Amino acid sequence: MTKPNRAPTTRPAQQKKPRAKSASRLAPAVTPTPTPKPKLPKSPTGIQGLDEILDGGLPTGRPTLICGGPGCGKTLLAMEFVVRGATLYDEPGVFMAFEEAARDLSQNVASIGFDLDELIRRKKLVLDIVRIDHQDIEESGAFDLEGLFIRLGHAIDSIGAKRVVLDTIESLFSDLPKFHDPA
Ligand SMILES: Nc1ncnc2c1ncn2[C@@H]1O[C@H](COP(=O)(O)OP(=O)(O)OP(=O)(O)O)[C@@H](O)[C@H]1O
Ligand SMILES: [Mg+2]
pLDDT tens for the chain, residues 1 to 183: 445 455 444 455 555 555 655 555 667 777 778 787 778 999 999 999 999 999 999 999 999 999 999 999 999 999 999 999 999 999 999 999 988 888 889 998 999 999 999 999 999 999 999 987 766 665 566 667 788 899 999 999 999 999 999 998 887 776 555 555 555
For the Cβ of 73 lying below 6 angstroms from any atom of ligand 1, the answer is yes
- Which ligand 1 atom sits nearest the alpha carbon of residue 112? 1
- The answer to the question of residue 12 being in a domain is no
- Asked, for residue 100, whether it belongs to a domain, the answer is yes
Between the alpha carbon of residue 150 and those of residues 10, 46, 54, 147, 157, the distances in Å are 91, 29, 32, 5, 10
* 123 belongs to a structural domain: yes
18 belongs to a structural domain: no
DSSP secondary structure code for residue 91 in this structure:
-
Q: How far is the CA of 140 from the centre of ligand 2 (A)?
A: 28
pTM score of the predicted model: 0.76
**Helix, strand, coil percentages in the chain from 3-state DSSP, rounded to 5:** 40, 10, 50
- The CATH number for 147's domain is 3.40.50.300
The ligand 1 atom nearest the CA atom of 78: 18
Ligand 1 center–CA 87 separation, angstroms: 21
Instruction: Give the span between the Cα atoms of 127 and 82, in whole angstroms.
Output: 10
Does residue 143 lie in a domain region?
A: yes
Determine, yes or no, domain membership for 93: yes
